[in-house]
Structure 1
Amino acid sequence: MVQQRLRGRPAHTPGPTFLSYTPNGTKLVTVGLNNAIRVFQTGSDAEPTNIDNCQDSNTAVVAANEFFITGSEDGTVSKYSLESNTLQEVLVRCTLPVRDVALSPDGEWAAVASDELVVKVVNTEDMTRVLYLRDQAKPVKHVAFDKSGTYLAVSCTDGLVYVYSLSSKDPELVRKVDGLIRTLETDAEASSKITWHPDGRAFAAPTATRDIQIMSQSDWERQRVFKDGHGGDITALAWSPNGALLVSASTDRKLILWDVKTQKILKSYDDIRFTILALSWHPTSNILSYTNNEGELFIHTDFIPDEHISLLNKSRQPAPFIHDPLSEISGNARAALTNGVKSGIPSRHARHSSYDSLDDIFPSDIDAAPGDLNDFIEDDDGAAFDSRDHAINGFGKRPLDDPSGPDNRKRPNGYSYSRSSFQPKIHQAFQPGSTPWRGTRRYLSISLLGIIWTVSQETHYTITVEFYDRSSFRDFHFTDMYHFDKACLNEHGALFACDGAPRDDIQEERAMLMYRPHETWTTRGEYKIFLPLGEKIESCSLSESYIVACTSAGYVRVYTLFGVPVRVWRMKSQPSVTCASWRDYVMTIGNGAVGGDGKTRLTYSIENVKRGEVCQDEDSVGLCEGEALTSVFFSDNGDPHIYTTRGTLLVLAHWRHPSQARWTPLLDTNQLSRLASGKKEESYYPVAVAQDRFHCIILKGGDTYPSFPRPLLSDFEFRIPVSDPPHLLRSSGADDDEDDDGVEIAKNENTIDALEESLVRTSTLLTLLTDLTSATRASPSQQRALDDLVRQHDKTVLRLLDAECRQGDERGMKALEVVGMLKTKNDAMMNAAVKVAGHHGRSVLAEKIREVAERTVLGLDEDEDME
Structure 2
Amino acid sequence: MATTTQLRIQARPAHTIGTTRLAYTPDGTRLVTVGPNDFARVFRTESDGEPTTVDGLPEDNLAVNATNEYFVLGSEDGTVSKYPFDTMSFDKFLVRSTLPIRDLAISPDGGWCAVASDELVVKIVNTSDINEVMYLRDLPKPVKHLSFDPSGNYIALSCTDGNIYVYSLLEDTPELMRKIGDLIRTVESNSEITSKVAWHPDGRAFAVATATRDIQVMSRGDWENQRTFKDGHNGDVTALDWSPNGAMLATAGKDRQVLLWESNTQKIIAKYDYANVIDIAWHPIKNIISFTTSDGEVFIYPDFVPADNTFLVKMSIQPAPFIHDPLSELSKNIRRPATINQKEVPYRGGRQGTPDSVGVLLGDVMDDDEDDFVVDDDGAGYALGLNVNGKRPNGDIDPFDGPLSKRHNALSWEPTYHESFQPGATPWRGNRKYLCLNLIGFVWSVDQDSHHTVTVEFYDHEFHRDFHFTDTFLYDKACLNENGTLFSSSINGDKPASIFYRPHETWTARADWRTELPKGEDVTAISLSDSFVTVTTTANYVRIYTLFGIPYKVYRQKSSPTVTCASWRDYVLTMGNGPVGADGSTKLLYTIHNIKRDEVCQSEDVVALPDDVILKSVFFSDNGDPCIYDSTGTLLTLLHWRTPAQAIWVPLLDTKLLSRLASGRKTETYFPVAVADNKFHCIILKGGDQYPYFPRPLLSEFGFEIPISAVPKKVSEEDDAFTEEEENELKKLEGDYVLKSLLTAQQEDLIEATKSSHAQRTALQRMEVEIDKTLIQMIAVECREGEERGMRALEMVCLLRDRTGRMVEAAGKVAERYGRTVLGEKIREVGEQRLMNVDEED
Give the equivalent residue in structure 1 for 2:263: 260
Q: Which deviates further from its counterpart, 430-439 or 415-424?
A: 415-424
Distance in 2 between the 1:660 and 1:784 partners? Answer: 26
Give the equivalent residue in structure 1 for 2:72: 69
Give the equivalent residue in structure 2 for 1:453: 444
Give the equivalent residue in structure 1 for 2:671: 685
Q: Which of 770, 774, 790 is the aligned partner of 2:752?
A: 774
Equivalent residue of 2:689, what SS? coil
Matched, 1:593 2:579: yes
Deviation of 1:750 after TM superposition, in Å, equals 3.2
Distance in 1 between the 2:595 and 2:117 partners? Answer: 70
Q: 1:248 to 1:535 in 2, by over 3 A?
A: closer
Q: How does 1:622-637 map to 2 (within 5 A)?
A: 622-637=608-623
Q: Which of 521, 545, 556 is the aligned partner of 1:570?
A: 556
Equivalent residue of 2:310, what SS? helix
Distance in 2 between the 1:171 and 1:44 partners? Answer: 42
Q: 1:485 to 1:124 in 2, by over 3 A?
A: same
Q: 1:222 to 1:440 in 2, by over 3 A?
A: same
Distance in 1 between the 2:750 and 2:671 partners? Answer: 27
Q: Which of 57, 61, 65 is the aligned partner of 1:58?
A: 61
Deviation of 1:80 after TM superposition, in Å, equals 0.9
Q: Which amino acid aligns with 1:472?
A: F
Q: Which amino acid aligns with 1:288?
A: I
Equivalent residue of 1:550, what SS? strand
Q: Which of 364, 367, 379 is the aligned partner of 1:413?
A: 379
Distance in 1 between the 2:248 and 2:363 partners? Answer: 25
Give the equivalent residue in structure 2 for 1:466: 457
Q: 1:529 to 1:406 in 2, by over 3 A?
A: same
Q: Which amino acid aligns with 1:625?
A: D
Give the equivalent residue in structure 1 for 2:632: 646
Matched, 1:823 2:795: no
Q: 1:457 to 1:340 in 2, by over 3 A?
A: farther
Give the equivalent residue in structure 2 for 1:294: 295
Q: How does 1:655-804 map to 2 (within 5 A)?
A: 655-724=641-710, 726=711, 730=714, 748-779=726-757, 782-783=760-761, 785-804=763-782
Q: 1:330 to 1:85 in 2, by over 3 A?
A: closer
Deviation of 1:612 after TM superposition, in Å, equals 1.8
Give the equivalent residue in structure 1 for 2:402: none
Task: Provide Cα deviations, 1:807-852, integer angstroms capped at 9, x if missing partner.
Answer: 2211001011112222335455334323322232212222322333
Equivalent residue of 1:462, what SS? strand
Give the equivalent residue in structure 2 for 1:346: 353
What TM-score do the two structures reach when normalised by structure 1?
A: 0.86
Q: Which amino acid aligns with 2:506?
A: T
Equivalent residue of 1:614, what SS? strand
Q: 1:580 to 1:394 in 2, by over 3 A?
A: farther
Identity of aligned residues (%): 53
- State whether residues 126 and 133 of structure 2, in contact with CA within 8 Å, keep that contact through their aligned partners in structure 1: yes
Q: 1:501 to 1:142 in 2, by over 3 A?
A: closer
Matched, 1:387 2:390: no
- State whether residues 148 and 341 of structure 1, in contact with CA within 8 Å, keep that contact through their aligned partners in structure 2: no
Q: Which amino acid aligns with 1:346?
A: G
Q: Which deviates further from its counterpart, 153-162 or 593-602?
A: 593-602
Q: Which of 518, 521, 525 is the aligned partner of 1:539?
A: 525
Matched, 1:122 2:125: yes
- State whether residues 335 and 415 of structure 2, in contact with CA within 8 Å, keep that contact through their aligned partners in structure 1: no
Deviation of 1:4 after TM superposition, in Å, equals 5.9
Distance in 2 between the 1:163 and 1:72 partners? Answer: 25
Give the equivalent residue in structure 2 for 1:141: 144
Deviation of 1:460 after TM superposition, in Å, equals 1.8
Q: Which of 473, 477, 480 is the aligned partner of 1:482?
A: 473
Q: 1:863 to 1:178 in 2, by over 3 A?
A: farther
Deviation of 1:168 after TM superposition, in Å, equals 3.2
Give the equivalent residue in structure 2 for 1:380: none
Q: How does 1:826-837 map to 2 (within 5 A)?
A: 826=804, 828-837=806-815
Equivalent residue of 1:387, what SS? helix
Distance in 2 between the 1:678 and 1:233 partners? Answer: 48
- State whether residues 108 and 125 of structure 1, in contact with CA within 8 Å, keep that contact through their aligned partners in structure 2: yes
Q: 1:513 to 1:305 in 2, by over 3 A?
A: closer
Give the equivalent residue in structure 2 for 1:21: 24
Q: 1:592 to 1:862 in 2, by over 3 A?
A: farther
Q: 1:426 to 1:459 in 2, by over 3 A?
A: same
Q: Which amino acid aligns with 2:271?
A: S
Q: 1:163 to 1:416 in 2, by over 3 A?
A: farther
Distance in 1 between the 2:170 and 2:841 partners? Answer: 62
Distance in 1 between the 2:575 and 2:287 partners? Answer: 53
Deviation of 1:591 after TM superposition, in Å, equals 2.1
Q: How many residues align?
A: 801
Q: How does 1:321-340 map to 2 (within 5 A)?
A: 321-328=322-329, 331=332
Distance in 2 between the 1:571 and 1:649 partners? Answer: 26
Distance in 2 between the 1:648 and 1:24 partners? Answer: 48
- State whether residues 432 and 445 of structure 2, in contact with CA within 8 Å, keep that contact through their aligned partners in structure 1: yes
Deviation of 1:332 after TM superposition, in Å, equals 8.4
Distance in 2 between the 1:715 and 1:125 partners? Answer: 52
Q: Which amino acid aligns with 2:285?
A: T
Deviation of 1:758 after TM superposition, in Å, equals 1.2
Q: 1:210 to 1:83 in 2, by over 3 A?
A: same
Q: 1:841 to 1:715 in 2, by over 3 A?
A: same
Distance in 2 between the 1:216 and 1:488 partners? Answer: 28
Give the equivalent residue in structure 2 for 1:840: 818
Deviation of 1:609 after TM superposition, in Å, equals 1.4
Distance in 2 between the 1:340 and 1:250 partners? Answer: 40
Give the equivalent residue in structure 2 for 1:281: 282
Give the equivalent residue in structure 2 for 1:354: none
Deviation of 1:463 after TM superposition, in Å, equals 1.5
Deviation of 1:699 after TM superposition, in Å, equals 2.5
The alignment's C-alpha RMSD in Å is: 3.2
- State whether residues 125 and 134 of structure 2, in contact with CA within 8 Å, keep that contact through their aligned partners in structure 1: yes
Equivalent residue of 1:500, what SS? coil
Deviation of 1:61 after TM superposition, in Å, equals 0.6
Q: 1:85 to 1:385 in 2, by over 3 A?
A: closer
Q: Unmatched 5+ residue regions in structure 2?
A: 338-344, 386-398, 400-409, 718-723
Distance in 1 between the 2:320 and 2:253 partners? Answer: 22
- State whether residues 482 and 500 of structure 1, in contact with CA within 8 Å, keep that contact through their aligned partners in structure 2: no
Equivalent residue of 1:796, what SS? helix
Q: 1:441 to 1:240 in 2, by over 3 A?
A: same
Matched, 1:303 2:304: yes
Equivalent residue of 1:816, what SS? helix
Q: Unmatched 5+ residue regions in structure 1?
A: 351-383, 503-507, 734-745
Q: Which deviates further from its counterpart, 437-446 or 205-214?
A: 437-446
Q: Which amino acid aligns with 1:260?
A: S
Give the equivalent residue in structure 2 for 1:396: 366
Q: 1:102 to 1:345 in 2, by over 3 A?
A: farther
Q: Which amino acid aligns with 1:324?
A: D
Deviation of 1:196 after TM superposition, in Å, equals 1.0
- State whether residues 102 and 144 of structure 1, in contact with CA within 8 Å, keep that contact through their aligned partners in structure 2: yes
Q: Which deviates further from its counterpart, 205-214 or 528-537?
A: 528-537
Give the equivalent residue in structure 1 for 2:44: 41
Task: Provide Cα deviations, 1:51-80, integer angstroms capped at 9, x if missing partner.
Answer: 333222222110111101111222211111
Equivalent residue of 1:268, what SS? strand
Give the equivalent residue in structure 1 for 2:591: 605
Task: Provide Cα deviations, 1:82-136, integer angstroms capped at 9, x if missing partner.
Answer: 1111111011222332211101112111111122232211111111121222353
- State whether residues 333 and 418 of structure 2, in contact with CA within 8 Å, keep that contact through their aligned partners in structure 1: no
Give the equivalent residue in structure 2 for 1:378: none
